[in-house]
Amino acid sequence: MNDMVIGKPLPRIEGRAKVTGAAHYAAEFNQPGQLHAVIVGSTVGLGRVRHIDTAPVERMPGVVAVITHLNAPKLAYNPHKSGIDPGGGERLHVLQDAEVRFYGQPLAIVVADTLDHAERAAAALRIDCEGRTPAVDSAAPGAQAINPDAGREPGGRGDADAALAAAAVKVDVVYDMARENHNPMEPHATVAAWAGDRLTLWSKSQFVVNEQAEIAAVFGLPAGNVQVICPFIGGAFGTSLRTWPHVTLAAIAARQVGRPVKLVLTRRQMFYTTGHRPRTVQRVALGATRDGRLTSLIHEGSAETSRYEQYVEALLSATGFMVACPNVRTGYRIVPLDTATPTYMRGPGEATGMTALECALDELAYALRLDPIELRRRNEPDIDEGDNRPFSSRSLMACYDEGARRFGWSRRTPEPRSMRDGRLQIGWGVASATYPALQNPASARVRLLADGTAEVEAAASDMGPGTYTSMTQIAAESLGLPMERVRFRLGRSDYPPAPPHGGSMTMASVGSAIVAACKSAQAEAVRRAAADPRSPLSGTAADAVEWHQGQLRRRGDTAPGVSYGDIVSGSGGSPVEAMERAVRDPDAAQRYSMHSFGAVFVEVAVDPDVKTMQVRRGLGVYGAGRIVNPRLAASQCVGGMVGGIGMALMEQTVLDPRDGRPVNAHMADYLVPVNLDIASLEAHFVQEHDPHVNALGIKGLGEIALVGMAPAVANAIYHATGTRVRNFPIRIEHLLEEA
């Protein structure tokens, strides 16, 4: 093996392309003869289209087509579900009938020669709807919950209700967490072009092979007729995992007008039909002995979904294994509403479920007059008690130790309102983070070329974590080549299939596939050289070869060896090619409970008079297995912590109860943290060698970075003010009410 590349804090190799504009995002793939499409959405939240007056709009300048349910093609909508589609229900069939199921539902598309003409025409289109009042409040009296997990409650054990009744110390509280929208910088966009019955989509997607399969199913085409291309993503956080209706609309429009069509959602439209984090209402009840041992844990939550799909997420999945406790009961309900279907948003499930659990543990720590880290230490489990398996690795307490040392936790005074900086109230809070260490089947192809370089391909995505760089590191190290000699390509549906670029599984899944494909290519290269009588490796067995200064030589030889380039050019120049598929070892998957863990520390300052809150410091320490690139990993974690500040203090999609309209569907009123709100954030990693998750020891990072931050902020605000706010986002008025 040559110099180790994995583990080096290299800068992004795709960084220059991004800052110079050389990196192309979906909406930049302009096609010759392209037209522009604009969606017209419903302005009622529930009802039916009565009449659409298209004629006046069709006569407007530049308008080529107005497409509604009356003239749209009836599409096949063949059954299609991937792992990211809700198991229950059926996707929205766009422009297939007159029903209005939620506010903003696409009811028409206007296609014109310029974006300006399309926008003007879209604004002028009158759609007459018969509207009723939608149900959009999952906590309203009469809202009907359904239980997707009946009989399959994760982690349940013992008799939690009896144990709670008998507990010496109790906490029994309810947390209400708001609906959020993802709001990445890049809007959803699709450029669609047909050539006969073949469709090319340049489309923002975290899962290009699924977008290919889904659009093929929607149009009743063989999957091979659809190509999806997405080399760069300007942030997504889960909103581009599923293939939302606008992709179908772009393809409908392009087919109807017989020309390529570009469709870009407005910021406002990104609040309608591209998923959102569902609002949750959660009860957590904890019972403990006076010395702080948990005896009962009840965690019940309800979350919103749409009428047409049953979106479920891992809201309570961590509850069964975060703490040692003999009696645990969880219950998860979803409440169908007249809204679009929610979806995965960074740390889906855990981010909200762990907020409730970690705030409740903090409340218990105060009730016990115990340090919150000490409470967690006393209840640190030896195994996953929820499913009775050992953890493949669990560094939670090591994360707390490292975090406490770096943060200076020993200087904290435990009483609420006891720390000050001048007139400001200071609060220090902690919370745990966790997320499953997922790995799904993935494939990769490696080509060794005559010029001594290697090409590596997988249908992965890079929504910002630096996938281009980290995968190149893995390939370079596996092949024994310098970084500059390896080109990693992603974001095309005709590359070897990869799982969704989500759930923190890309590094483990695609990374493992690349290792396998590189090994296979290397073995093939050695076989070629061994078969070549002129090669220094002639007749050498694959296992009798070693690396020396970037060359392959017979083990023990002192003579110079040969490079891949020598082998390929010496054997006629046709590339050595290998493709492999990697899956997690099923034995290990069965034997171990696999999760990343982390500890998050936060300092807030609260103005005691006007109650403004600022996160002054945030520090996360994570045990996430092997870190391929510490610089990019830390950058990703800091990004997740920013999202956690948003969840704690700012982000909330507000719906008008009269018509379900998201009233703050723009960046002026939907608040996200900006630089002034962030101050100092740091991420660190504890050394963790996990031989069970995969050969690389990678557990994944993207989601855990958001989990834990919101409860740490809330716990710090309690420490600063003595006011426990159980509504998220925490607002100034919540602190004023209690004052």
Q: Nearest distance from residue 238's CB to ligand MOS, in Å?
A: 3
Q: Nearest distance from residue 677's CB to ligand MOS, in Å?
A: 22
Hey, which residues between 109 and 128 contact ligand MOS (CB under 6 A)?
none
Hey, which residues between 689 and 718 contact ligand MOS (CB under 6 A)?
703
Query: Contacting ligand MOS (CB under 6 A), which of 92, 217, 241, 516?
Result: 241
Q: What is the DSSP string of 494-559?
A: TSSP---S-TT-HHHHHHHHHHHHHHHHHHHHHHHHHT-TTSTTTT--GGGEEEETTEEEETT--S
Strands 328-337 vs 294-306: parallel, antiparallel or unpaired: parallel
Q: Kindly indicate which of the ranges 344-352, 466-474, 541-549, 718-726 contains the residues binding ligand MOS, using the contact rule CB under 6 A.
A: 344-352
Could you say whether residue 554 binds ligand MOS (CB under 6 A)?
no
What are the catalytic residues? 703
Nearer to ligand MOS, 106 or 348 (CB): 348
Nearer to ligand MOS, 131 or 503 (CB): 503
Could you say whether residue 237 binds ligand MOS (CB under 6 A)?
yes
Q: Is residue 361 a contact partner of residue 175, using CB atoms and an 8 Å limit?
A: no
Nearer to ligand MOS, 296 or 461 (CB): 461
Nearer to ligand MOS, 372 or 643 (CB): 643
Binding mask 348-367 for ligand MOS (x = CB under 6 A): x-------------------
Taking the CB of residue 438, how many other CB atoms lie within 10 A of it?
A: 22
Could you say whether residue 503 binds ligand MOS (CB under 6 A)?
yes
Q: Nearest distance from residue 593's CB to ligand MOS, in Å?
A: 20
Nearer to ligand MOS, 238 or 260 (CB): 238
Nearest to 425 by CA among 416, 433, 436: 416
Nearer to ligand MOS, 236 or 253 (CB): 236
Query: Contacting ligand MOS (CB under 6 A), which of 131, 154, 234, 238?
Result: 238
Q: Nearest distance from residue 240's CB to ligand MOS, in Å?
A: 8
Distance CA 632, CA 536 (A): 40
Could you say whether residue 346 binds ligand MOS (CB under 6 A)?
yes
Distance CA 699, CA 696 (A): 9
Nearer to ligand MOS, 145 or 638 (CB): 638
Hey, which residues between 176 and 215 contact ligand MOS (CB under 6 A)?
206
Count of residues that bind ligand MOS according to CB under 6 A: 12
Nearer to ligand MOS, 206 or 469 (CB): 206
Distance CA 344, CA 54 (A): 36
Query: Contacting ligand MOS (CB under 6 A), which of 345, 446, 615, 709?
Result: 345
Could you say whether residue 344 binds ligand MOS (CB under 6 A)?
yes
Q: In what order do the strands lie in the sheet with 99-100?
A: 99-100, 47-53, 126-131
Q: Kindly indicate which of the ranges 50-58, 139-147, 343-351, 640-648 contains the residues binding ligand MOS, using the contact rule CB under 6 A.
A: 343-351
Taking the CB of residue 612, how many other CB atoms lie within 10 A of it?
A: 11
Q: Kindly indicate which of the ranges 173-181, 222-230, 235-243, 585-593 contains the residues binding ligand MOS, using the contact rule CB under 6 A.
A: 235-243
Phi-psi category of residue 458: left, alpha or beta, with phi > 0 → left and psi -120 to 50 → alpha: beta
Taking the CB of residue 586, how many other CB atoms lie within 10 A of it?
A: 8
For 557-698, strand residue ranges (E) read 576-582, 595-606, 613-623, 680-685
Could you say whether residue 552 binds ligand MOS (CB under 6 A)?
no
Query: Contacting ligand MOS (CB under 6 A), which of 131, 336, 349, 502?
Result: 502
Q: Nearest distance from residue 377's CB to ligand MOS, in Å?
A: 30
Provide the 3-class DSSP secondary structure of residue 196.
Answer: coil
Q: Nearest distance from residue 706's CB to ligand MOS, in Å?
A: 9
Q: Is 394 exposed, middle or buried (0-12, 13-18, 19+ CB in 10 A)?
A: buried
What are the backbone dihedrals phi and psi of residue 88, each rounded to the nearest 5 degrees, phi first?
A: -105, 140
Q: Is residue 310 a contact partner of residue 122, using CB atoms and an 8 Å limit?
A: no
Widest CA span in the chain: 87
Q: Give me 654's structure tokens.
A: 């507000």
Residues that bind ligand MOS (CB under 6 A): 206, 236-238, 241, 344-346, 348, 502-503, 703
